[in-house]
Amino acid sequence: MTCGNDRLQSISAFFPAFNEEENIRHVINSALSVLSGIADEYEVVIILYEGSTDNTGDIVREMMQCDPHVRLILQPRAERGYGIAMRMGYENARHDTVFYSDADRQFDLSDLCKVFRLIRHVDLVVGYRRSRQDPITRIFVAKIYNLMMKIVFGLEQRDVDCAFKLCRKSIFEKVSLKCRTGLSDTELLVKARLAGYEIIEVGVDHFPRIAGGTYFEIGKGKFFNIPKPGVVLAILKEMVGLWREVSPSLRRFREEQKKRLMQQP
């Protein structure tokens, strides 16, 4: 895939995966095609949870034999959690620009062609799903979640946990991710904002999941998918911990914002 002559020097793309044998080959091939069109050096990294019980790992290893740009990193069974997978992806990325998405084929990776140049001017490019193609209950829960993140942490992004994010790896010189759960997206945005990094939102396409499933939810189908109670409790617990960690910085940030507004004519 060709995305013009204005290419990045290098990029790493990583994808957390759990039992995605029906999707992983397509995701890797799509990522290789897109990344080769936007960067001189690139890699596709699969963060595979060791608790996976299907052939996802075998497929990735097979593709590694055919293309040296493909890497496999195993997430230890004892270190379960989406946030841990994200942290491992960012820590193990070899290049100066890092992209992450899910391995469920719900995003069109060619959207990277439309947005990758933005990373020259900002520190973090955050996708939002223009028309989210998920079960109704998941969309409802996401609306509540996004509202909570706005109230508690002051986040302005409309789709906090959208798994389509592009950033400079250098931001992790000041941003340290600690969350083990899916709250890690919130943690990244909150800490990047407080560290003074510039964030921009872009609309991306979203598609229904056509194969596989998610470990973190109860129910399948078009209408009913809700997070497991244990997942909700873990996220709420980490929310409290994150609030305690960032509240002093967040308070100062809000005070500075008020001062700037008062100084405006």
Q: How far is residue 265 from each of residues 86, 251, 253, 259, 262, measured CA to CA in Å? A: 43, 24, 21, 12, 8
Domain annotation covers residue 205: yes
Tokens representing residue 212 in the block? 């596989």
Environment class of 158 (CB within 10 Å of its CB; exposed 0-12, middle 13-18, buried 19+)? middle
pTM here is: 0.91
- The reported pLDDT for the residue numbered 156 is 92
Residues 163-210 have pLDDT tens digits of 999 999 999 999 999 999 999 999 999 999 999 999 999 999 999 888
Mean pLDDT of 5-27: 95
CATH code, domain carrying 229: 3.90.550.10
51 vs 94 pLDDT, higher one: 94
Query: In total, how many domains does the chain have?
Result: 1
SS3 250: helix
Domain annotation covers residue 110: yes
- The reported pLDDT for the residue numbered 214 is 67
Residues 58-87 have pLDDT tens digits of 999 999 999 999 999 999 999 999 999 999
- The reported pLDDT for the residue numbered 221 is 54
Backbone CA torsion sign across 204, 149, 197, 163: negative
Whole-angstrom distance, CA of residue 203 vs CA of residue 129: 6
Domain annotation covers residue 45: yes
Mean pLDDT of the chain: 92
1 vs 127 pLDDT, higher one: 127
Q: How far is residue 199 from each of residues 33, 67, 117, 187, measured CA to CA in Å? A: 26, 33, 14, 14
- The reported pLDDT for the residue numbered 53 is 92
Domain annotation covers residue 124: yes
Environment class of 77 (CB within 10 Å of its CB; exposed 0-12, middle 13-18, buried 19+)? exposed
Domain annotation covers residue 218: yes
Residues in Cβ contact with 215 at an 8 Å cutoff, skipping those fewer than 6 apart: 18, 19
Domain annotation covers residue 90: yes
Domain annotation covers residue 155: yes
Domain annotation covers residue 3: no
With a pLDDT cut of 90, the percent of the chain lying above it is 78
174 vs 253 pLDDT, higher one: 174
Environment class of 244 (CB within 10 Å of its CB; exposed 0-12, middle 13-18, buried 19+)? exposed
The candidate with the shortest Cα–Cα distance to 184, out of 10, 16, 11, is: 16
SS3 149: helix
Residue 44 lies in domain: 8-263
- The reported pLDDT for the residue numbered 220 is 59
- The reported pLDDT for the residue numbered 136 is 86
Residues 102-157 have pLDDT tens digits of 999 999 999 999 999 999 999 999 999 999 888 888 888 899 999 999 999 999 99
Tokens representing residue 179 in the block? 């969350």
CA angle 55/57/60 to nearest 5° reads 110
Q: Where are the alpha helices (DSSP H) in the chain?
A: 24-38, 56-66, 82-92, 112-115, 136-153, 184-194, 229-263
- The reported pLDDT for the residue numbered 201 is 97
